[in-house]
Amino acid sequence: MTTNINANLLETGADELERFALEECVKRHRFDQRVSVLILPDKRCEMSIKFARLGAQVLIADQPKLQQEVEGRILAAGLRDEILFAPCTLPELPEDPKGEPFDIIIIRRGLCALPYEEARRIVRKLLLKLKIGGKLYISVLGLHSELSEGYVASESTIDQRFAKLAPPLAEKYGIHDQVCLYTERNLFMLLLEAGASVLRTLTTTYGNVKGVAVRV
């Protein structure tokens, strides 16, 4: 695979956290032909396809009801040997998934649907599914975003911050269950308390919060 192809894959439609993870995949692939990636979730398979085309073995973990749809997308992309599906509904994680221990784990949604303490337990379990030196990439909904408007738990401490969004925003974003919204510091502490070494955190223009951590 040429450098130009890799560059195109890194640039096409990737947000900052995704770009960090793709760059990590490229670096690891230079030294190890077997780079394994776990993504929770990836319903449309867009991220998984990018990793597979960089030479990684990818496992998508998502709701069992989506298995047929996801596997159809994998088949259409011609990547059924490179991308597999594992049924998974948080807070449960796949047991002994193919590819474990992973080089890279990405969790883009789902943690905010859990109270903080439960989210911390999940992050700890995810870290244990990484190789030593493997990296975890997390994206969560931000407290300093539009979602906080009318959010009754805005003033609560992170361990008590779990409530529904204001009805107009719940309708707008299709988020009708209780959620925990994070500040950048909250995510930093979540990773630290779970036992990770935090490499970076950031807040996007829209107020969502992202972090990168490594298993040590």
| Count of residues in the chain | 216
pLDDT tens for residues 148-181? 999 999 999 999 999 999 999 999 999 999 999 9
Average pLDDT across the chain, whole number = 91
25 contacts: CB under 8 Å, gap ≥ 6: 35, 37, 51, 54, 55, 56, 103, 104
- E strands present in the chain: 36-40, 57-62, 83-87, 102-107, 130-140, 197-203, 209-214
pLDDT tens for residues 18-51? 999 999 999 998 887 789 999 998 878 899 999 9
Q: HSE (CB half, 13 Å, CA atoms) of 158? A: 19
Q: Which helix (H) or strand (E) is 156 found in, with range?
A: none
Task: Give dist(CA 58, CA 36) in Å, integer.
Answer: 6
Q: Give the model's pLDDT for residue 94.
A: 87
Token pair listed for 63: 């709701």
Contact 199, 184 (CB under 8 A): no
Helix, strand, or coil here: 52? Answer: helix
Question: Does the pLDDT at position 142 exceed 90?
Answer: yes
Token pair listed for 40: 């929770």
Token pair listed for 208: 């969502």
Task: Give dist(CA 45, CA 15) in Å, integer.
Answer: 15
Contact 143, 183 (CB under 8 A): yes
pTM here is 0.91
Q: Give the model's pLDDT for residue 95.
A: 83
Q: Give the model's pLDDT for residue 172.
A: 95
Domains contained in the chain, CATH given: 3-140+196-214 (3.40.50.150)
Q: Are strands 57-62 and 36-40 parallel, antiparallel or unpaired?
A: parallel
